[in-house]
Structures are given as C-alpha cells and as structure tokens.
Amino acid sequence: MFHEMMCSGQNPNILTYSILLDGFFKNQKIGKAVEVFRSMQDQGIVPDIVIYLIVVNGLCKAGKIEDARKLFSTFLAKGLKPNVKIYNTMISGLCKEALLDEAEELLLQMEGDGCPPNDVTYNIVVRAFLKRGDIDKALVLWSPQRQLYIISRGSWKWPETNATKLWK
C-alpha cells in the first residue's frame, strides 16, 4: 500500500510515517523500519520528537541499544529538546542491557537539562539496580528527597489542584 501510494504520486506525511514505523517495530521488522526512517528523511521529511520516540523505542526493544544511542545523540546534536518520554525510553533500554551506570548518567543529564524525571523514570532505574542486587544504590535513588521532588514536580499535581478547588 505504501509503495502504491508513492507510485501514484501521493506523498506520505509525517503521520503516515509514524504509523508505518510503529507498525514495523511492533512486528519486529527492524530492518524495514530503519529503511522507512531513512526514506522519510530522503523525502525531505524532518523527524519530530514522536518519530524519534518511536524509533528509539523500537531499537531499544529490539536490543539494538548502540543504534538507539546513536539516534539519541543525533537527536540531541540537532538541537532538539528531549521530553520525559524519550529520556525514559532511552533509560529503560540502557537498563534492559544492564548498562546501569550509563542509565544513571542519563538520569543526571535529564535533571541537568531541565527535564524533571518522573515516578516512571525512578521506577525504571530503581528496579534495574534492585535486579542487579545493588540495594544501596536503589535506596539512594529512591531517597525521600527525590520522592518529594517527584511529588512536587508532577505526580500529585492534578489531585492537589482539584483538592484546592474544593476549598475555594
């Protein structure tokens, strides 16, 4: 269908590419997904954060952490600002490959870049350290100060806001 679309002169847009990429990765067609990603760029379509998220996630899940690292570096080199989802995806991929020191470095980079980690971020890293048997490191990452930071930065924002409305 994609080939027919291209042959008939209909150019796919970024949404079409995101659907294709997601489908190929979910069906473990990694080579095809990478081919489509390159083709998209050859067509002059600039990947956005959603496309990068799909590709980084697909590469991480396929165990292609080196390719995911390179793509994440390209993303940063282009001056794009990662959000918590893409950081979490990359951190999760690193943890799955037992690259915990690198995952922790990325967590610190995330904080330094002004992208506050959320409860998902800490759950990913803490679980990985616990799985490795490094309870001390897990406890440091799950310290009360960090938990207060998480609560104040988002996890409880919505309920707190609604509770405040009740008192007005």
Percent of the chain whose predicted confidence (pLDDT) is above 90: 68
User: Rounded CA gap, 87 and 80, in Å?
Assistant: 12
User: Rounded CA gap, 28 and 31, in Å?
Assistant: 9
User: Rounded CA gap, 20 and 40, in Å?
Assistant: 11
CA distances from 12 to 1, 5, 15, 20 (A): 11, 8, 8, 10
Beta carbons within 10 angstroms of residue 112's beta carbon: 8
Torsions phi, psi for 10 (to 5 deg): -85, 120
pLDDT digits 0-9 by tens, 63-116 = 999 999 999 999 999 999 999 999 999 999 999 999 999 999 999 999 899 999
Q: What is the pLDDT of residue 139?
A: 85
Residues 125/91, Cβ–Cβ less than 8 Å? yes
User: Rounded CA gap, 20 and 36, in Å?
Assistant: 8
Under CATH, which number does the domain 1-80 receive?
Answer: 1.25.40.10
For residue 27, pLDDT over 60 is answered with yes
Domain with CATH 1.25.40.10 in the chain: 1-80
Percent of the chain whose predicted confidence (pLDDT) is above 70: 80
What is the mean pLDDT of the segment spanning 5-16?
75
Residues 100/94, Cβ–Cβ less than 8 Å? yes
Q: What is the pLDDT of residue 68?
A: 98
